[in-house]
A and B are shown apart, each in its own frame.
Chain A
Amino acid sequence: MKALDNFKADFENTLQLSKGLIKEIRSKAFEKFISEKFPTRRDEYWKYSDPSSILKLDLNYNDSGDFKDDNYDIILSNGRIVKTLSKFKTGNISDGLDNGDVPKEIFKEEKNPFLNLNNAFAVNGCYLILDSKTKKDVKILNVINNNSDCQAVYPKLIIIAKKNSDSTVFEEVKVVGEGINFVNSVVDIILEDGANLEHIILDDYAKDTYSISNICVKQSKDSNFRSHNFSMGKKLARRDYNIELLGTGANCDLYGLYFVDGENHIDHHTTVEHKKEHCTSNEHYKGILSGKSVGVFNGRIHVHPKAQKTDAIQNNQNLLLTDDAIIHTKPELEIYADDVKCTHGATIGQLDEKALFYLRTRGLNQKEAQRLLMRAYVGEIIDNISNGEIRTRMMNIVLDRLPKGD
């Protein structure tokens, strides 16, 4: 396979760029990646998204390119840091490993091949330490800068929210230029005891983007993670959330909104591992699909034997605006403790005809009525963002991107 040969050549060519701990980590990760078989649609978790389409691409590693934008505190261009502000404790991951800011335990042998692949190409990458007890906002831009026509980029971000810290991280992913991109990104998030972190991610890929994104979160005692995920899919777009509730009293809220049109594809696999007692998780994902787009939602809640008094909620709602749009939605509950509360639900529907008629009898035309109902639909997710400025901005972006109706 073309891409596998290219991965190998690129890995060998870039290995000498790394020194110290990261070099060893990269080598082990690549060994693991290459020794295991690349997933296909026969694998349960890839049933509806075909990763083998990536293998056919003539991909080349690229981390060059610059970008400037005063609206962001940190900018990564093709995964390489091109802007940071000294007011934040941040830097290149390899330096963080060497100076002790980044614990090397974050890197381990992974089951997921795309985590191993990302680690194998951890030439660059950025870490961010959040230690402020008073609320701090950080804005990060992840630019996919396409100046070669078929490129592979490996953005990597490690966020460590220190004990009792309180922060909001807004991360935007966007593509500049044209061409084919394979974006294999990972965000590792660690919340120490009592840490409070709100993470908002928005992606806006170009049409020929294949994106495999993993967000891995480890939560200690009494930490609180609030996630808002806005995704517009593209050729093949998959984002996984792997949340581990490792300390008692940890809570996570996962909100997601995806909207795809044309022949675009979006896949979300989320896993919440309830490993300790008295943890709560609340997940609410909504989708709007039109054209011939395909959506996948797989939400897994895994309650381990020790995790008594778990309270987990999961809900996925989908709006199909056209006859050809498809959604595959599946809740997956695995419960090994006997004193827990878990609920889940999934719905698929269209805009309510009765509601549309009602709105039209008041003077709104079909398009305006559809948009008003869609605005209400997305508002239920967006309204959960606590930062007013970001909330307003997200509402404007989403309204701008909503299908225009018929």
Chain B
Amino acid sequence: MLKITNLHASVEGNSILKGINLEVKAGETHAIMGPNGSGKSTLAQVLAGHDDYEVDQGEVSYLGKDLLELDVDERACEGIFLAFQYPVELPGVNNTYFLKSALNAQRKYRGETEIDAMEFMDLIGDKIKLLNLKDSLLKRPVNEGFSGGEKKRNEIFQMAVLEPKLALLDETDSGLDIDALRIVAGGVNAMRSKDNATIIVTHYQRLLNYIVPDYVHVLVDGKIISSGDKALALELEEKGYDKIIEESKA
């Protein structure tokens, strides 16, 4: 589904990603772990298409297309979803109206008919239960006045409605208490299928107890220095990043 080859990216002249290689197949869940400043979030932002990041070198192929040639919204319409580490507040933009506009933009892109109001309400009614969110949040402006946990759940709720092929979860666990973490993980797990894939960017192993990855990659200073299965995440938690970095150099 996604193949990243020797990806280099920088922001304002500072090189952050220094040769990433990663292949993600449909049905797989990959976790990318790493210390602060290693480039984890940058990788997620570059894949989503943020203009602040300059791709200096490398290729990214997604479903047979050159991903780097696509605009942000085209990537979204092709099925890439970024769950933000810090979801943006949109004062005055009603949550339901926003979601409906987004879903219809994607349907239009794919040549499908727009969803009607009744069908849409049924759809979001089902999904909102999955994330245990209050109905009242639908009538409020997007993320405005939401608690930290509500914002993160709202991200996964949007993901449930938009049904992406490739989900990028950027530090979705940060700021969540244990109960919220379970709910968010439950939402993500409910959407896992053989046709879609998930990349989880995280600091901590904690989230991976709930969303069990098929692969774990350790990203340090813009490069993947070690890859393995879920056991690698446990090893990291036990030994810390420094030890793994030392071992990789040996």
Contact = CB atoms under 8 A, between A and B. Distances in A.
A358 B88 CA distance: 7
Given A361-B81, A363-B106, A372-B101, A355 B90 contact: yes
Contacts, number: 71
B84 A358 contact: yes
B102 to A, nearest CB: 4
A361 B90 contact: no
A362 B76 contact: yes
A363 B109 contact: yes
Contacts of A376: 90-93, 141
Interface string B140-162: 01000000000000000010001
Contacts of A372: 93, 98, 101
Interface of A: 352, 354-355, 357-366, 368-369, 372-373, 375-377, 379-380
Given A357-B50, A362-B162, A368 B105 contact: yes
Given A355-B88, A368-B105, A360 B93 contact: no
Contact of B102 (A357, A363, A375, A380): A363
B73 A366 contact: yes
Contacts of B224: none
Nearest to B143: A358
B87 interface: yes
Given A365-B105, A372-B98, A376-B141, A360 B76 contact: yes
B105 to A, nearest CB: 4
Contacts of B103: 363
Nearest to B76: A363
Interface in B202-247: none
Given A357-B50, A360-B76, A365 B71 contact: yes
Contacts of B115: none
23 contacts: A354-B88, A355-B88, A357-B72, A358-B84, A359-B90, A359-B102, A360-B72, A361-B48, A361-B73, A361-B76, A361-B81, A361-B84, A362-B76, A362-B102, A363-B77, A368-B101, A368-B105, A372-B98, A372-B101, A376-B90, A377-B92, A379-B92, A380-B92
The 7 closest A-B pairs by CB, nearest first: A376-B92, A362-B102, A358-B88, A360-B72, A363-B76, A363-B106, A363-B105
Interface string B45-74: 000111100000000000000000001110
Contact of A362 (B49, B71, B141, B158): B158
Contacts of B51: 357
Nearest to B102: A362
B31 interface: no
Interface in B85-126: 87-88, 90-93, 98, 101-103, 105-106, 109
Given A360-B76, A361-B72, A364-B102, A373 B50 contact: no
Contacts of A375: 92-93
Nearest to A374: B92
Contact of A365 (B73, B82, B91): B73
Contact of A358 (B77, B87, B106): B87
A363 B50 contact: no
A121 to B, nearest CB: 43
Given A355-B88, A364-B102, 13 more contacts: A355-B90, A359-B90, A360-B72, A360-B73, A361-B73, A361-B75, A361-B76, A362-B76, A363-B105, A363-B106, A372-B98, A376-B141, A380-B92
Interface of B: 48-51, 71-73, 75-77, 81-82, 84, 87-88, 90-93, 98, 101-103, 105-106, 109, 141, 158, 162
A357 B45 CA distance: 10
Contacts of B72: 357, 360-361
Nearest to B82: A361
Nearest to A358: B88
A355 B50 CA distance: 12
B246 to A, nearest CB: 37
Nearest to A371: B101
A362 B105 CA distance: 9
A396 B209 CA distance: 50
B124 to A, nearest CB: 14
Residue with the highest number of chain A CB atoms closer than 10 Å, among B71, B76, B77, B103 = B76
Nearest to A352: B88
Contacts of B105: 362-365, 368
Contacts of B92: 375-377, 379-380
Contacts of A364: 73, 101-102, 105
Contacts of A362: 76, 98, 102, 105, 158, 162
Contacts of A373: 90, 93
A373 B92 CA distance: 8
A369 B101 CA distance: 10
A286 to B, nearest CB: 11
Contacts of A363: 73, 76-77, 102-103, 105-106, 109, 162
A155 B110 CA distance: 53
A315 to B, nearest CB: 14
Residue with the highest number of chain B CB atoms closer than 10 Å, among A357, A361, A380 = A361
Nearest to A380: B92
A362 B74 CA distance: 10
